[in-house]
Every structure is written in C-alpha cells, then in structure tokens.
C-alpha cells in the first residue's frame, strides 16, 4: 500500500475479500448450509412421521382383526339363538299336537327357550357393540395413518426440492422447499391432533 492510499494486492487476496463480503448475489455457502440443515431436520421429522404411519397402520389392522373376531362370536351367539328358536317352535308344535296332560310340559319348555333366547340376545347384542367399537377404532387409525402418509410424502417432496435447489441455486426452489416442508409439518400436526 502506498502512502496516498493506493492498494495493490494479488488475485488470491481479491477472492478472499470477495468471499468474506458475500460474493456476487449473496453467499452461496449460506444457502448451502441453510438447505443442508433444513434437509437434516425434515428428514428426521419425516422418519418419525413414517414410523407413526406404520404404527397406526398396524394398529388399524389389529383392531380390524379384533372386530372380525367379535363378529364371529356374535354370529355364533345368533346361531345359538336360532337353535333355541327352532326348539321353541318344535315345542309349540308338540304342545299343539299333544294330549291335554302333556301340554303344560311343552309350555314350560317353550317358556324356558324364550328366556334362554332373551339371554342369548343380550350377549349377542353386547358382542356386536364391541365389534362396532373395534371397527370404529380401526377406521380412526386408518384415517390417522393416511395423515401420517400424506405428511411423510410432502416432506419427501420437500427434500427432493432441496436437492434440486442445491444443484440449481434457484431461490424460488428454496422457497418451494420451505413451503413444502411447512405443509408436511402442518399435515403431521393434523395427524397428531387426530384431524
């Protein structure tokens, strides 16, 4: 540097100063760091959301299976109910065809079958209600699974946009990446809230 303030330096000094001042159009390192950090966070959140999606899908299948078991139990009860109805009808026919001295025996059988049918009906109705509850829980889990899957998909799109933004250094892709990431997180919150 001369005494009049004139400064002469080599080409490498110019590049170092240029990089420190942000270069042309901003610091590309800043964009790269920002996208890398965003991608790491979104990938981690996406992995958690993916796990939750798998867990809710497994729960939905388990609950659906429990509903099927309960439906089978209810069907067995209704078959038992039908058998008692058939016996009751046969006792009624026998009563109508029997001699007067046998009619009270057949009537008591008919009354017993009616009582047994009512008890069986209560059990069958209770089991059907349990099956319906399992079905409802399965449907809720599937809805939540779909939310997790939607969120994970949007987060994956966001990560893909991040890669393209890094390669092309296009600001609008970076904005799209942040937008998709935000949307994915929003859908994940909807899954957490069971909406």
Does 12 have pLDDT greater than 70? Answer: no
pLDDT mean over 173-185: 93
pLDDT band for 1, please (50, 70, 90 cuts): very low
The Cα–Cα gap between 90 and 107 comes to 11
> Total structural domains in the chain?
1
Q: Residue 137: give the domain boundaries.
A: 29-192
Is there a domain that residue 107 lies in? yes
In a domain, 17, yes or no: no
Residue for token pair 């009860």: 77
For 104, the token pair is 């009270």
In a domain, 158, yes or no: yes
What is the percentage of the chain residues whose pLDDT exceeds 90? 73
Mean of pLDDT values over 94-107: 91
Asked whether residue 7 is domain-assigned, the answer is: no
Within a domain: 178: yes
Specify if 187 maps to a domain.
Answer: yes
Residues 109, 96 contacting (CB under 8 angstroms): no
pLDDT digits (tens, 9 = 90+) for 135-155: 999 999 999 999 999 999 999
Residue at 21 is within a domain: no
0.75 cut: is pTM over it?
Answer: no
Please indicate, yes or no, if residue 14 is contained in any of the structural domains. no
For residue 82, pLDDT beyond 80: yes
HSE of 127, CA atoms in CB hemisphere, 13 A: 18
DSSP annotation string for 49-60: HHHHHHHHHHHH
Mean pLDDT of the chain: 88
Among the ranges given (20-24, 94-98, 119-123, 157-161), the one the predictor scored with the smallest mean pLDDT: 20-24
Identify which of 70, 76, 66 has the alpha carbon closest to the alpha carbon of residue 128: 70
């Amino acid at each position: 540097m001369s005494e009049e303030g004139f400064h002469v330096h080599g080409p490498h000094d110019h590049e170092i100063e240029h990089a420190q001042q942000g270069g042309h159009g901003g610091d590309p390192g800043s964009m790269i760091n920002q996208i890398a950090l965003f991608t790491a966070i979104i990938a981690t959140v996406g992995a958690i959301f993916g796990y939750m999606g798998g867990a809710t899908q497994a729960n939905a299948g388990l609950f659906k299976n429990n509903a099927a078991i309960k439906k089978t139990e209810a069907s067995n009860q209704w078959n038992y109910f039908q058998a008692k109805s058939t016996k009751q009808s046969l006792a009624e026919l026998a009563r109508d065809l029997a001699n007067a001295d046998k009619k009270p025996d057949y009537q008591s059988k008919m009354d017993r079958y009616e009582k047994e049918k009512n008890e069986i009906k209560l059990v069958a109705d209770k089991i059907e209600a349990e099956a319906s509850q399992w079905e409802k829980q399965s449907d809720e889990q599937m809805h939540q699974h779909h939310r997790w899957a939607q969120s994970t998909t949007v987060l994956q799109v966001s990560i893909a946009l991040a890669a393209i933004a890094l390669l092309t250094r296009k600001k609008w892709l970076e904005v799209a990446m942040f937008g998709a990431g935000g949307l994915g997180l929003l859908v994940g919150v909807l899954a957490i809230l069971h909406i």
